[in-house]
Amino acid sequence: MILIYRSMKKKCVLLFLCSLLVLPLAAEDGSRLWLPAAPEMSEDLSTLDIARCEMALLPVKNALVSTSGDRRLRRYISKAELRSLGEEEFIVRTVDSLCVVAGGSERAALYGVYRLMRDYASGCLAASYDIREKPSYELRLLNHWDNLDGSVERGYAGRSIWWEGDTLRPALYRAYARANASVGINGTVLNNVNASPRVLDSLHLDKVRQIADLLRPYGMKVYLSINFSSPMALGGLPTADPLDARVVGWWCDKVKEIYRLIPDFGGFLVKANSEGLPGPQDYGRTHADGANMLADALAPYDGVVMWRAFVYNPTETDRAKQAYTEFLPLDSLFRDNVIIQVKNGPVDFQPREPFSPLFGAMRHTPVMPEFQITQEYLGFSNHLAYLAPLYEECLDSDTYVDGPGSTVARVTDGSAFPLSHTAIAGVANIGLDTNWCGHHFAQANWYAFGRLAWCDTLSSETIAREWLRQTFSHDDRCVVPLKRAMMLSREAVVDYMMPLGLHHLFAFGHHYGPEPWGYRKGMRPDWLPSYYHRADSAGIGSDRTQAGSDAVSQYAEPLRSIYNDAGRCPETLLLWFHHLPWNHVMASQRTLWDELCLTYQRGVDSARELAGIWQSVAPYIDAERFAHVEARLRVQLHDAVWWKDACLLYFQTFSCLPFPAGVEPPVYTLDELKRIKLDMKHHN
């Protein structure tokens, strides 16, 4: 089939153009995200029909949108080029006055149209095109930590869009799918990794089927997190041993049931033997035994198992070493349709971590990065923290497993060595709030994850500019300062929370606010801040050198030697790898204590600058969003001072040193700060 647009409905064009105008006095609630208003479409359109409807909104007089099998495309694109297009690859080419979008599949054609829409909405639509694009990763997924009761673990934007009551929200799900498709996200895990077995019962699977039907036209597959003990909870079996024939049979039957309902079901995400969840180790089996049992059940349907490497059961071993220690010996034992899902750092989504040493170390098993889009450790929906620099920092990190240039991106996207699958995941920040993400700028992290999943070499600055021009304004008097604010924001959060490689200083449970003194009788040591900062009269920091826990030896050379040497270790990670005296001399020639104090102060100053930048762009922002962000920036500045005072006053009890010149006097006393106890139950 082929569809050539030579005329377009004036009504649709005007609707699209009006949606791009951001007038200072026009109310804007953030519900449209970075997209223009969607065209009116019937509910039973194919993916290609949707692509053509979206294309009709662009100011292009003549357009052809189709798939590579369409013979009429050969007038404009060679047969060889068309045949070589991958399943998600597209060509956009201008031939004479005709704009041609050719996809290797219907969803690829849709991605090509969204490329043009992004350019147009950014004010960058070219007069002529000759581009060819394909994604960096095969599977580009959102992970929703949504519970079946409608709550969202680490969610700060309202209740679950999927599980809040029995309500099905078709219009919302189509808007969700459209937003994801616009940045190339092609899959979603609908429920929490701390999974309830009930998600696999007939009632919930029928709802999953209905959701899948609504997302499918936008090229999205659905996946489910599963509880490893489901055969016992749902099937009445006495065991969940992955080598027990009854268990194997139960999973095979359950998978068959799922694919009968959802023929394009993507597969399972599994968290096992971590934080008390059941898993194969309960039966003396390995992670490979558990993953392979599920993989064999899914293989006939081309489903995948994404097995999380986030494991840290109580042990004397440094928690930062556990994933590597448990999974590396299993490399080459996993089935081809098993992917190991690895958090970007070795601990737990901290504001800054070194990359996980599993990246590149596992050569025979696909390893997929997992990033957090939701801001569990970055101020929830109260703080402006643009996370593309964090994602970029990890993806661009050189693992050196094959010498220089073996970046995390290249060892996970299949360009460094062949992999049976490539994948990347982001833990979603989406809820039923009108603006989807709680904070208007938190939308940028969803957008940035999708863009980097599509092209893992994009710069965070490029992505920020794209998002701002689509979301707020084309006027550089607005875009330039806001881009500066976005690029400043993540480093600001690191500075006022945990600079120089400090980590996990948060209040227990909810992870909002500082509690470096945190202590609870009988608590596991690795749930307490002191396990990580190790502050004492001699100094501060975790000793992960060869003389300490030897976590440095999990990295390839020359990183092993660099991280092991306090004189060569990047100062941004210094206290991650080293316990150093308070008078240790830094590159600035200041002592460690003075550097720490001044860095916390810099974080407060940066938070103040963010608020000032926002005030400067008031003429270009609608009143509704301006007030919303302004209020949160006030909270952020308050919290930055809270963090500075709490951490420095507490660490001063060990250093016994005065604050250097340039550090503002504390607003609070340490005793006052220790009495703060927040009730954050509504966030979970």
Catalytic residue list: 275, 348, 376
Which position has the token pair 């599993």? 358
Closest residue by Cα to residue 242 from 291, 277, 197? 291
Residue 391 to residue 333: CA distance in whole angstroms: 29
Contact (CB, 8 A) for 500 and 571? yes
Helix (H) or strand (E) holding 36: none
3-state DSSP call for residue 556? coil
Residue 563 to residue 569: CA distance in whole angstroms: 5
Residue 455 to residue 459: CA distance in whole angstroms: 10
What burial letters (b/e) apply to 430-452, b meaning 16+ CB within 10 Å? bbbbebbbbbbbbbbbbbbbbbb
By DSSP bridging, strand 267-270 and strand 304-308 are: parallel
DSSP 363-424: -SS-EEEEEE-S-TTTTTTTS----HHHHHHHHT-B--BTBTT-BHHHHHSSSSS--S--EE
Determine whether 572 is exposed, middle or buried from the number of CB atoms within 10 Å of its CB (0-12, 13-18, 19+): middle
Q: Looking at this protein, which amino acid is placed at residue 37? A: A
Which position has the token pair 């309202």? 158
Q: How distant, in Å, are the alpha carbons of 90, 401, 428 from that of 572?
A: 40, 22, 27
Q: How distant, in Å, are the alpha carbons of 225, 351, 511, 680 from that of 192?
A: 6, 22, 18, 19
Residue 283 to residue 286: CA distance in whole angstroms: 9
Q: How many residues does the chain have?
A: 684
Residue 377 to residue 388: CA distance in whole angstroms: 15
**78 phi, psi to nearest 5 deg:** -65, 155
Residue 87 to residue 180: CA distance in whole angstroms: 18
Q: How distant, in Å, are the alpha carbons of 310, 380, 446 from that of 47?
A: 36, 35, 23
Residue 238 to residue 245: CA distance in whole angstroms: 12
Q: Looking at this protein, which amino acid is placed at residue 30? A: G
What does the block give as tokens for 462?
């490029």
DSSP 487-543: HHHHHHHHHHHS-TT----BPTTT--SB-TT---TT--GGGSTHHHH--BTTEES--
Closest residue by Cα to residue 180 from 394, 473, 391, 430? 430
Residue 211 to residue 173: CA distance in whole angstroms: 7
Residue 345 DSSP one-character state: S
Contact (CB, 8 A) for 146 and 269? no
Residue 175 to residue 647: CA distance in whole angstroms: 43
Contact (CB, 8 A) for 362 and 327? yes
**365 phi, psi to nearest 5 deg:** -130, 130
Q: How distant, in Å, are the alpha carbons of 125, 228, 259, 343, 381 from that of 291?
A: 46, 10, 19, 18, 35
